[in-house]
Amino acid sequence: MRTGKLKRNDPESKDPYTESMRESIRKVEETREERIESEVPMMNADERDEVLNKYHPDYKESGMRPLRAGPNSGDEMPLELAELLEAYPAVDPSSVDLTKVDHEVDVLVIGGGGAGTVSALWAVKQGIDPEDILIATKLRHGDANSMMAQGGIQAADREKDSPAAHFLDIVGGGHYANKTELAKALAKDAPGILQWHEDLGVMYDKNEDGSMKALHGGGTSRKRLHSAKDYTGMELMRTIRDKARNLEIPVEEFSPAIELLTDSEGTVTGALLYNMETEQYYVVRAKSVVMATGGFGRLHIQDFPTTNHYGATADGLVMAYRAGANLRDMDSVQYHPTGAAFPEQIVGLLVTEKVRGSGAIPVNREGEAFVYNLEPRDVEAGALIRECYGRNNGVETPTGMKGVWLDTPMIDMMHGKGTFEDNLAYIYRLYTRFGIDPTEDPLLVFPTLHYQNGGIEINKEGKTALEGLFAGGEVEGGVHGKNRLMGNSLLDYNVFGKRAGISAAKRAKEVGWGELSLKHAEKYSDQLDDAGVDEDRRSPMLVPEYRGEETLSRSIDLL
């Protein structure tokens, strides 16, 4: 890489760090050598509980409220999500004509990210003609959190490891709230998924003998994290998408589903799509529907910045819930411990856990290590928040944000010069673009909204509570309990995308097309009326609102 060109964001090449930040960095530099020799011990169960209870955002009561309608009535949800679930359909059911069907397919896949694409590929393997599948997606095929995953994917493929050890890590990390049949499927399918990837031509990081490079992730008992530099998600997504393109599986881009369609029994029989550019709707009739819309990071729960992709607005949860599917574990949100806190342009973007897996340690303003570098994510995030706001040992940025240092220069010191740039190419590029060299200076980080731990409840076949509706990937819940471990989300979309795709294909071979209605939406609206919900509230959201306040305050709708 020719780094010279990367300075273009700062034509004057000034030091992006302020003098007070530099002062703190000097303390970090002074303690670096001894930090390489010593290690902060891992917390015991009681210490972990204390950090979580006091500092993790999930435990803040004012951030949640119980739902007033639908199958999860009474369950606590983040406020921002509750607002969307307790909302009327974006489209007035009486304004659409469901008798004119635009697409009649065996399998409709809602969402063109990892889970959706994997489910379509396995539906084809199951004997469904690609022409009889439709992937409907909000932005472009592959625009998804799947593309952004950096650190890697877990699989117990090494001699020293076993699916049982992986299982135990999953449920312990998830605070024993996981559906164990799902955790078992995740662990057991993992090596087979990697083998499938190899067959598709994914370039995993390997040793010369063909064995895969493996690192620890937070909360893993074995080195089980496999990667493709720190572009693991991108390498998987683009390869899987390439396969789908070769098979010519039809994709409707910029046409998100906005409502499911059901028959009089409540069976899911299709969906209503909305072309965001022409503003017309399309009616899709399908024998099976796979929900694969991903997560909700762009809701900015508790005002956190997010690592998530622009389209992560909980659309799938909204549609499935309105049709009667139950959700689970929605009271637990994953804040990734290390989001960028500086510079301003990249606040909230992910600094992969692989950075800590490679040896970098979080350090406070005084240059002191204060937490073991690979606690499970929720614990690590809680410890960073405690350091900044409980102990007031954070570093303040010019915009008033607080963070702690992630001491990245340790990596090349421990493993040799060039290690960082070779294995963490994305992070290196991300920071050097803004004039910070992570091999020379530490990075300022703070927890960022990263993952929806819960979702639509599924069983091990990827079936939801609704006949005809399947789900895979971040939109579903139960796999990770109350906290997902690193490297298990890429795995999740592959394992449950596959299982949902296979189940959807099997059903499509057995049933005919059903009648199409929006009765479920009308029924749900009645429940909202009874609960006294404001009629102006509509969902799904589709895209977040980031326009400037000045513009919005003077906006009028004429066209």
Q: Within 345-400, where are the H helices?
A: 353-357, 377-385
Per CB under 8 A, 194 contacts another protein: yes
375 scored as a contact of another protein (CB under 8 A): no
Smallest distance, another protein to C-beta of residue 233, A: 7
For position 301 contacting another protein by CB under 8 A, the verdict is no
Name which position in 74, 99, 555, 556 contacts another protein (CB under 8 A): 555
Q: Exposed, middle or buried, 37 (CB in 10 Å: 0-12/13-18/19+)?
A: exposed
Q: Partners of 148 in the beta sheet?
A: none
Yes or no: say if 313 and 299 are a contact pair by the CB < 8 Å rule. Answer: yes
In angstroms, the first-to-last Cα distance of the chain is 47
> Please, what is the minimum distance in Å from the beta carbon of residue 542 to another protein?
9
Whose Cβ is closer to another protein: residue 2's or residue 26's?
2
- Active site residue: 48, 224, 377, 484, which one? 377
- The reply to whether 1 sits near another protein by the rule CB under 8 A is yes
- Helix%, strand%, coil% for the chain, nearest 5: 40, 15, 45
Q: Which token pair is 139?
A: 């932005």
Amino acid identity of residue 51, one-letter, is V
147 binds another protein (CB under 8 A): yes
Segment lying near another protein (by CB under 8 A), choices 5-13, 262-270, 317-325, 356-364? 5-13
Identify which of 487, 188, 539 has the alpha carbon closest to the alpha carbon of residue 356. 487
Kindly identify the residues of this chain, within the stretch 207-246, that bind another protein according to CB under 8 A: 207-212, 216, 221-223, 228-229, 231, 233-235, 238-239, 242-243, 245-246
Which region among 98-106, 154-162, 266-274, 470-478 touches another protein (by CB under 8 A)?
Answer: 154-162
365 given a catalytic annotation: no
Q: Which of 19, 46, 97, 248 binds another protein (CB under 8 A)?
A: 248
Q: Cβ closer to another protein: 262 or 306?
A: 306
Cβ-based nearer residue to another protein, 205 or 368: 205
**Contacts to another protein from residues 156-175, by CB under 8 A:** 156-160, 162-165, 167-169, 171-172
Instruction: Report the nearest approach of another protein to the CB of residue 551 (Å).
Output: 3
Footprint (CB under 8 A) of another protein, residues 260-289: 276-277
Taking the C-alpha atoms of residue 490 and residue 194, their distance in angstroms, rounded to an integer, is 11
Grouping H, G, I as helix, E, B as strand and the rest as coil, residue 465 is coil
Q: Which two tokens stand for residue 223?
A: 């080195």
Closer residue to another protein, CB minimum distance, 169 or 387: 169
Nearer to another protein, 277 or 510 (CB): 277
Region near another protein per CB under 8 A, out of 71-79, 145-153, 265-273, 400-408: 145-153
What lies within 8 Å, CB to CB, of 318 at 6+ separation is 84, 85, 87, 539, 540, 541
Residue whose CB is less far from another protein, 99 or 207 = 207
8 Å CB contact between 268 and 324? no
Interaction residues for another protein, span 319-348 (CB under 8 A) = 344-346
Report the candidate in 406, 402, 405 with the shortest Cα–Cα distance to residue 389: 402
Distance CA 482, CA 179 (A): 11
Q: Mark 100-139 with x for binding to another protein (rule: CB under 8 A) and - for no binding.
A: ---------------------------------------x
Give, as ranges, the residues between 389 and 428 that touch another protein (CB under 8 A). 425-426
Name 118's Cβ contacts closer than 8 Å, sequence gap at least 6. Answer: 240, 472, 493, 494, 497, 498, 501
Backbone angles phi, psi at 55, to 5 degrees: -125, -15
Give the residue with the Cβ less far from another protein, 234 or 456. 234
The helix/strand/coil state of 316 is helix
Q: What are the C-alpha distances in Å from 77 to residues 61, 69, 87? A: 10, 12, 14
**130 or 390: CB nearest another protein:** 130
Helices (H), 377-452: 377-385, 409-415, 419-423, 425-432
The piece of 330-338, 354-362, 430-438, 514-522 that touches another protein (CB under 8 A) is 430-438
Residue in 199, 510, 536, 557 binding another protein, rule: CB under 8 A: 199
Task: Using the minimum distance from each CB to another protein, give the nearer residue, 294 or 324.
Answer: 294
Among 38, 62, 94, 551, binds another protein (CB under 8 A): 551
As measured in angstroms, the least distance from the Cβ of 246 to another protein is 5
Q: How many CB atoms lie within 10 A of CB 432?
A: 20
Specify whether the CB–CB gap between 501 and 290 falls below 8 A. yes
Count residues near another protein (CB under 8 A). Answer: 97
Among 79, 265, 310, 416, binds another protein (CB under 8 A): 310
- Of 408, 432, 310, the C-alpha closest to 359 is 408
CB nearer to another protein: give 423 or 525.
423
Minimum CB separation from another protein for residue 364, in Å?
26
Dist CA 500 CA 493 (whole Å): 10
Contact between 440 and another protein by CB under 8 A: the answer reads no
CB of 20 to another protein, least distance (A): 18
Instruction: Please name the amino acid found at residue 301.
Output: I
Helix axes 114-125, 488-510, angle to 10 degrees: 40
544 Cα distance to chain centroid:
16
Q: Using CB under 8 A, pick the residue from 52, 77, 108, 202 that binds another protein.
A: 202
Q: Which of residues 99, 100, 510, 546 is near another protein by CB under 8 A?
A: 546
Residues involved in catalysis: 377
